[in-house]
């Protein structure tokens, strides 16, 4: 007796390939009951590792190594709570949906709840889930009480949960539920949010927490996260699986980032009526830095248009290898965002896409820009986290927000790689806080519940954190009657890459600036490093020939010692090797005396060595 032929199954891989084309073309198709069966691990296996973009070069169709390792670890341990920390652009969504399909198929959960920071991200999650047969309702409202029978679950915002935690607790208790907490550090944004998340999802069968930035500038505990004391007794968040920017850069999953720093002469009138002049980037008091910074960002001055023009020149170069490459200006507020857009139109002759959270069609504008070829988009905070626009390759950090969390999330908008050799370039003012954050891009940070009385937090002690956060306060202070920005000139300062600094400065339009703006847009990290060193050597030789050799003063030595100390502390925590042993190994490797007697070149060599350790170079 012959058995009946098996019923043909839908070709999920073929369907996903078509969906990839739709996403690339700016469209999306929901996979409902009529076009897909149920949650499918087969489809999840073929979901682009970097949804919503195509997989980065060399990674498709299989899961990336870190994703597979995290899935294997999760399935082997079957924990109720799991924290995955992965750098923006690494593919946290794909990992989470693979876990979701495994749990649904095994019958361990029957519904899925996704919690995200913004309304736009709710839609992105629903579209990604539809590709693997998990039907998520992104339009669910608290007033509904329960989701429709055609859905496997809902997507919520943290604010939505906080508005009615009892409702969401009841929904969670109604059936075995997997809760995916996207960018979970937001659950500590307010006491009410954290309490609401705990109340709503404490009964969940499984909770999967995701973040690209597990640290916060405060000590508010993040719900469902495990904290363990380190060697100094500081309680820090502990990830179940971590994949840092340095790891992703070494794997070719993310783009190398070049930070283009610009300084310049600023002049303003203080609220006391005094006229003040200072150069951005030179040693100044905290108040002077804040005022010079705000003066630079004034759209009526000359600093902003000069930097926007330089960034547009860079975008033109990048487009030689990435024809659809786009740029993003991150502004402080809506008024300046509109003004920056006007400046861009004067420079490019093309209207920039302006995205403001108050606009009802903000998400639609982001989607239109994602699928289009426009050169520039201007936004305030809406594109600072989680929103994926893979073609973004050039950015202008024109905001006074300088917390480590915001900076890391903003940079994360530019690092998603679509093909081998893509680079990202971010233009920013020469402000010590920002330059420090740019130099520490590859350092892993965990959220600390405690603050030592006198110790650095990866180079950001209490005073520095206060200075970073003070920028927001300065923003409001400087709009009070009396303050007036009078003049803002721009000049090229330097390029920061891989912990090193390159360039000897130059005027706007100078050959020195043009050499760095004209770097090819398609280079891998090692090629970027080699080319920057070559340009640096040429500029130094040129200056020496003109009798203008730059001097190494005590300020630079102090800054290098501080940076080295920060890196050694971070490596000591990561490796478990005592600070003194790390310093000894660096001296053995790079030569020279102990830190207080080392030259600038010797200190820089040790800094480069430690940064190499973070990305796997020996």
Question: Residue 398 is part of a domain; what is its CATH number?
Answer: 3.40.50.300
Segment 308-317 shows an average pLDDT of 96
- Within a domain: 268: yes
Average pLDDT over residues 533-545: 73
Burial of residue 493, with CB atoms counted within 10 A of its CB: 0-12 exposed, 13-18 middle, 19 or more buried: buried
- In whole angstroms, give the CA distance from residue 340 to residue 269: 23
pLDDT band for position 427 (cuts 50, 70, 90): very high
Both tokens assigned to 479: 């709009």
Are 361 and 385 contacting, i.e. CB atoms less than 8 angstroms apart? no
Which runs of E-coded beta strand occur in 41-90? 81-86
Answer whether residue 527 shows pLDDT above 50: yes
Name the token pair of 12: 């999920």
Looking at the fold, whether 150 and 208 belong to one and the same domain comes out as yes
- 422, β-bridge pairs: 522
232 and 261 belong to one structural domain: no
Mean pLDDT of 312-341: 94
- Written as six digits, the tokens of 32 are 């409902």
Query: How many CB atoms are located within 10 Å of the residue 305 CB?
Result: 19
Query: Which tokens in the block code for residue 156?
Result: 């919520």
The tens digit of pLDDT for each residue in 451-486 reads: 443 333 333 333 333 333 333 333 443 455 578 898
Q: Three-class SS of residue 204?
A: coil
pLDDT at res. 476: 40
Are 184 and 303 contained in the same domain? no
Whether residue 71 lies inside any domain: the answer is yes
Rounded Cα–Cα distance for residues 204 and 518 (Å)? 53
| Residue 374: inside a domain | yes
- Strongest mean pLDDT among 210-219, 251-260, 327-336: 327-336
- Is residue 56 predicted with pLDDT exceeding 60? no
> What pLDDT digit, counting tens, does each position of 368-412 carry?
999 999 999 999 865 555 467 889 999 999 998 877 778 888 888
The answer on 587 and 493 residing in a single domain is no
Find out whether 611 and 245 touch, Cβ atoms under 8 Å: no
Range of the domain at 495: 255-445+474-523
**Number of structural domains, the chain?**
3
Same domain, 279 and 360: yes
Bridge partners of 427, per DSSP, are 260, 396
Phi-psi region of 482 (alpha: psi -120 to 50; beta: other; left: phi over 0): left
**Average pLDDT taken over every residue of the chain:** 78
**In whole angstroms, what is the distance from residue 344 CA to residue 114 CA?**
37
**pLDDT per residue over 571-615, tens digit each?**
777 787 777 778 878 887 877 777 777 888 888 888 888 888 876
Last residue of a domain, one of 243, 272, 292: 243
Categorize the per-residue pLDDT at 543 as very low, low, confident or very high, splitting at 50, 70 and 90.
low
Exposed (0-12), middle (13-18) or buried (19+): which is 43, by Cβ within 10 Å?
A: buried
DSSP state, residue 522: B
């Amino acid at each position: 007796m012959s058995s009946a032929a098996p019923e043909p199954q839908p070709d999920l891989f073929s369907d996903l390939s078509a969906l990839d084309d739709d996403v690339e073309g700016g469209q999306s198709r929901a996979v409902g009951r009529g076009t897909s069966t149920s949650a499918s691990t087969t489809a999840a296996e073929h979901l682009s590792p970097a949804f919503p973009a195509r997989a980065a070069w060399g990674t498709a169709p299989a899961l990336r190594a870190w994703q597979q390792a995290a899935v294997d670890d999760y399935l082997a341990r079957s924990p109720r709570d799991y924290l995955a920390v992965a750098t923006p652009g690494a593919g946290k969504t794909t990992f989470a949906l693979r876990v979701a399909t495994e749990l649904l198929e095994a019958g361990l959960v029957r519904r899925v709840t996704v919690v995200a920071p913004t309304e736009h991200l709710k839609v992105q999650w629903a579209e990604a889930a539809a590709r693997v047969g998990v039907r998520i309702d992104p339009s669910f409202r608290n007033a509904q009480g329960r989701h429709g029978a055609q859905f496997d679950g809902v997507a919520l915002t943290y604010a939505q949960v906080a508005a009615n935690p009892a409702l969401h607790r009841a929904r969670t208790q109604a059936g075995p539920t997997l809760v995916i907490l996207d960018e979970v550090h937001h659950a500590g944004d307010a006491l009410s949010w954290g309490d609401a998340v705990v109340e709503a999802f404490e009964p969940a069968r499984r909770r999967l927490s995701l973040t690209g930035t597990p640290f916060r500038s405060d000590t508010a505990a993040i719900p469902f996260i495990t904290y363990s004391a380190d060697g100094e007794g500081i309680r820090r968040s502990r990830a179940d699986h971590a994949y840092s920017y340095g790891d992703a850069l070494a794997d070719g999953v993310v783009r190398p980032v070049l930070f283009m720093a610009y300084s310049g002469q600023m002049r303003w009138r203080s609220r006391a009526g005094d006229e003040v002049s200072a150069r951005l980037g030179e040693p100044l008091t905290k108040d002077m830095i804040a005022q010079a910074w705000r003066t630079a960002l004034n759209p009526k001055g000359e600093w902003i248009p000069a930097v926007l023009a330089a960034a547009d020149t860079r975008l033109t170069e990048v487009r030689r290898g990435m024809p659809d490459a786009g740029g993003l200006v991150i502004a402080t507020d809506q008024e300046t965002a509109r003004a920056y857009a006007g400046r861009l139109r004067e420079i490019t002759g093309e209207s920039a896409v302006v995205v403001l959270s108050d606009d009802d069609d903000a998400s639609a504008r982001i989607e239109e820009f994602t699928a289009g070829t426009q050169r520039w988009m201007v936004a305030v905070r809406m594109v600072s986290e989680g929103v994926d626009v893979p073609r973004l390759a050039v950015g202008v950090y024109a905001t006074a927000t300088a917390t480590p969390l915001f900076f890391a999330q903003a940079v994360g908008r530019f690092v998603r790689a679509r093909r081998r050799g893509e680079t990202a370039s971010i233009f920013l003012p020469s402000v010590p806080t920002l330059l420090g954050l740019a130099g520490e891009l590859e350092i892993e940070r965990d959220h600390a519940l405690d603050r030592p009385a006198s110790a650095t937090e990866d180079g950001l002690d209490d005073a520095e954190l206060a200075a970073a956060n003070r920028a927001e306060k300065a923003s409001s202070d400087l709009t009070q009657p009396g303050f007036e920005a009078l003049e803002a000139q721009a000049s090229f300062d330097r390029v920061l890459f891989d912990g090193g600094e390159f360039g000897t400065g130059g005027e706007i339009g100078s050959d020195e600036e043009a050499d760095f703006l004209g770097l090819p847009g398609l280079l891998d990290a090692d090629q970027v490093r080699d080319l920057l060193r070559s340009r640096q050597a040429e500029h130094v030789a040129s200056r020496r020939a003109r009798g203008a050799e730059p001097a190494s003063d005590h300020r630079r030595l102090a800054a290098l010692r501080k940076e080295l100390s920060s890196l050694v502390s971070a490596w000591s925590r990561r490796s478990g090797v005592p600070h003194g042993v790390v310093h000894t190994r660096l001296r053995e490797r790079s030569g020279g005396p102990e830190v207080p007697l080392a030259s600038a070149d010797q200190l820089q060599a040790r800094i480069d060595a430690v940064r190499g350790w973070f990305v796997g170079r020996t």
